[in-house]
Amino acid sequence: MVWLFRRLWGRIHFVAIKPEHQGKKLSKPLLSTALNKMIELGHEHVYLTTQTTSYPAINMYLNYGFEPYDTDGQDQKGWMMMEEVLDRKLDI
């Protein structure tokens, strides 16, 4: 049922660069390509999930315009930690 309800929501499930290719500035083009494909497929919204250990990726997602989303308040501690680690204020 959730997928029918969110049929116009695209999901970035996993963004990864093989270790031997990391540090070559490939993550931004990869994410841009994925987001452009979402638009091409007709998605009006895009969401993703991540973990606090992925703070470089979180910073990139924030730079792309993704916003923290915490429906039940369970992620507040993690987002506050991200504010400190990334040294940037988040609209939580």
Q: What is the mean pLDDT of each run of 10 residues along the chain (92 residues)?
A: 61 90 94 94 90 90 92 88 94 82
Q: Which residues are registered as beta bridge partners of 49?
A: none
Phi, psi torsion values for 45, nearest 5 degrees: -140, 155
Q: pLDDT value at position 51?
A: 86
Q: pLDDT value at position 3?
A: 46
Tell me how far apart the terminal alpha carbons of the chain are, to the nearest angstrom: 28
